[in-house]
C-alpha cells in the first residue's frame, strides 16, 4: 500500500463549479499535510498547509483533514480556468522533512 494515494484524474469541471480533491494516507502518525498546485512545466507551488484535524480556509480554497479516516481534502469554490493544474497532496514522513507525495490529480476547468 502506498503511503499517500491520490486519484490521478483528470477531473473535468465547468467554470464556477465546486471542486473536491482527495487523498488518503496510511500512517496515522502523519501530522502535517500540504497541498501543492503544479502548472505544466513548472515546479509545485505551496497552496495550503494544515496541522492535525480540522479545516483551514484561504480565499476560495479550503483544506480539510479527517485523521480518524486518514483522509485529506482540498475544496475549490467558484473554480476558474486558471485553476487548471495538477494538485499534489504531501505529508512529512516522521522525524524529518522527508515529504511523501501523492501522484497528483489533474484538474481541468473549462470556461
Partner 1 sequence: DGGITQSPKYLFRKEGQNVTLSCEQNLNHDAMYWYRQDPGQGLRLIYYSQIVNDFQKGDIAEGYSVSREKKESFPLTVTSAQKNPTAFYLCASTREDRVDQPQHFGDGTRLSIL
Which residues contribute to the site for partner 1 (CB under 8 A)? 4, 6, 8, 31-32, 34, 36, 41-46, 49, 51, 88, 90, 92, 94-99, 101-104
CB of 16 to partner 1, least distance (A): 30
For partner 1, give the closer residue by CB, 96 or 111: 96
CB of 103 to partner 1, least distance (A): 4
d(CA 22, CA 10): 13
Largest CA distance in the chain: 44
For partner 1, give the closer residue by CB, 51 or 71: 51
Cell numbers that stand for 74 in this block = 482540498
Backbone angles phi, psi at 26, to 5 degrees: -105, -25
- A 10 A CB-CB count for 84 gives 18
For partner 1, give the closer residue by CB, 32 or 75: 32
Coil, strand or helix: which one is 2?
Answer: coil
Amino acid at each position: 500500500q502506498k503511503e499517500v494515494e491520490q486519484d490521478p484524474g483528470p477531473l473535468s469541471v465547468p467554470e464556477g463549479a465546486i471542486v473536491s480533491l482527495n487523498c488518503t494516507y496510511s500512517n496515522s502518525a502523519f501530522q502535517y499535510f500540504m497541498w501543492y498546485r503544479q502548472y505544466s512545466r513548472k515546479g509545485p507551488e505551496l497552496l495550503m498547509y494544515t496541522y492535525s484535524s480540522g479545516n483551514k480556509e484561504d480565499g476560495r480554497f479550503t483544506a480539510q483533514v479527517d485523521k480518524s479516516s486518514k483522509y485529506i481534502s482540498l475544496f475549490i469554490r467558484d473554480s476558474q480556468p486558471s485553476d487548471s493544474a495538477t494538485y499534489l497532496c504531501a505529508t512529512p514522513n516522521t522525524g524529518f522533512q522527508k515529504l511523501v507525495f501523492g501522484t497528483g490529480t489533474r484538474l481541468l476547468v473549462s470556461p
